[in-house]
Amino acid sequence: MSAVSVRVPATTANLGPGFDCLGAALALYNTLTLLDKSAPWPDAFIAETAASFYGACGLPARSWDLRITGDVPRSRGLGSSVTVRLGLLLALNERENRPLPREVLLDLTIALEGHPDNAVPAFYGGFAASAPNGHIRTPVDETLKFIAAIPPFEVETKKARAVLPASVPFADAVRNLQQTALLTAAFMDHNYPLLRGHFEDHLHQPHRLALIPGGGSAIEAAVEAGALGACISGSGSTLLALTLHSEHMVAQAMKSAFTRQGGAEPLIHVLTADNSGAVIC
C-alpha cells in the first residue's frame, strides 16, 4: 500500500457555557500521513495513540514513518491533539485494511482525550452536542462565520483545567444549563440569530481568562462590533467570535482590543464551519 493521508479539521469546544459537551469543526486543517516504511514513533503521545489502536484490533503492533502538516496550532484551544489522535487512528485503520469500524475509532479518540467535545465534531464535521453515552450533530451554514483570534502563546489544557474550581454555586450551574440548551437549539434549528447573548459562562471562562492577557477585552469588543457572541475556544489561548455579518470588523475589533490591553497581537482567521469531518485524502 502507498502512503495513507488523513485530513482532520480544527475544532472549537465549549462555545462558552457548553463545557466538555459542545463543539464545532472549523475549516482549518492538519493532514497526517503514514509513509510506506517503518520508523519509530516520534513521541510518547503518538505511541500511546498507536498502542490503543493495536490493542483494540488485536494485530501485532507496528510503527510507521509519520508526517504531520497543516495550520492547526498546538495548545491554542483548536483541537490540535484530536487532529493527531484521530488522524493517526484513521490512517492506521486504512494501513491495516480496516480491522475496526470507524465508530470504534471515534470511541478510542474520546477515551484518549477524556472528553468528547472536540472528537465528535472533528470526526463528523459540523456542530455537535456530546455526552459520554451519545451525541447529536448537524451541519452549519456557510452564513455563520467563526473569527479565531490566536495569540502567539500556548495555554496547556492541563494548566487551564488546574485553575478551575472544585465546585460552583448551584445558580451558576443552572444558568449554564439554560444557555447551553439555547445554543444547542439554535444550531440544530439553524436559527443563528438565537445564538446572540447566550455565550455567557460561569464554570470555566472567568477563571481561564486570567491566562489570556487582553482576552476579556477582546470578547467584549467582538460583541460591541456586532458579533452574536464570543468565548474562549476550548481551554485557550484562542478566542472565538461568531457572526452573521461584518466579520472583518469584528476581527479588527478583537485584534485592537488585545493589543490595547497589553496583550500580544493575535493571528486572525475568518472561518466557516467544516461539515465533512475527518477524511481519507
DSSP, residue by residue, 62-112: --EEEEEEES--TTSSS-HHHHHHHHHHHHHHHHTT--S-HHHHHHHHHHH
> What cell was used for 99?
480491522
| Low-confidence winner among 38-52, 169-183, 203-217, 252-266 (lowest mean pLDDT) | 252-266
Q: Which comes out higher in pLDDT, residue 157 or 272?
A: 272
pLDDT over 90 (residue 132): no
Domain with CATH 3.30.230.10 in the chain: 4-138+275-280
pLDDT over 70 (residue 228): yes
**Per-residue pLDDT at 125:** 98
Return mean pLDDT, the chain. 95
Residue of 55, 166, 160, 52 lying closest to 110 (CA atoms): 52
> What cell was used for 112?
484518549
pLDDT over 70 (residue 267): yes
Domain 145-271 in this protein, CATH class: alpha beta
**Per-residue pLDDT at 156:** 81
| Share of residues in the chain with pLDDT > 90 (%) | 86
| Low-confidence winner among 53-57, 128-132, 255-259 (lowest mean pLDDT) | 255-259
**Per-residue pLDDT at 160:** 82
Q: What is the pTM of this model?
A: 0.94
Confidence band of 158 (pLDDT split at 50, 70, 90): confident
Mean pLDDT of 252-266: 86
Q: Which residues is 229 bridged to in the sheet?
A: 242
Residue of 281, 277, 228 lying closest to 86 (CA atoms): 277
**Per-residue pLDDT at 155:** 84
Contact 70, 83 (CB under 8 A): yes
The answer for residues whose C-beta is within 8 angstroms of residue 166's C-beta and 6 or more apart is: none
Residue of 221, 212, 14 lying closest to 130 (CA atoms): 14
Question: How many angstroms separate the CA atoms of 255 and 47, rounded?
Answer: 38
Mean pLDDT of 68-91: 96
Mean pLDDT of 32-41: 93
Mean pLDDT of 62-72: 96
**Tens digits of residue pLDDT in 171-200:** 999 999 999 999 999 999 999 999 999 999
**Per-residue pLDDT at 230:** 98
The answer for residues whose C-beta is within 8 angstroms of residue 183's C-beta and 6 or more apart is: 15, 16, 17, 18, 22, 195, 198, 199
Domain with CATH 3.30.70.890 in the chain: 145-271
We find that the CATH architecture of domain 4-138+275-280 is: 2-Layer Sandwich (3.30)
The answer for residues whose C-beta is within 8 angstroms of residue 170's C-beta and 6 or more apart is: none
Residue of 273, 28, 279 lying closest to 137 (CA atoms): 273
**Per-residue pLDDT at 1:** 65
pLDDT over 70 (residue 69): yes
pLDDT over 80 (residue 58): yes
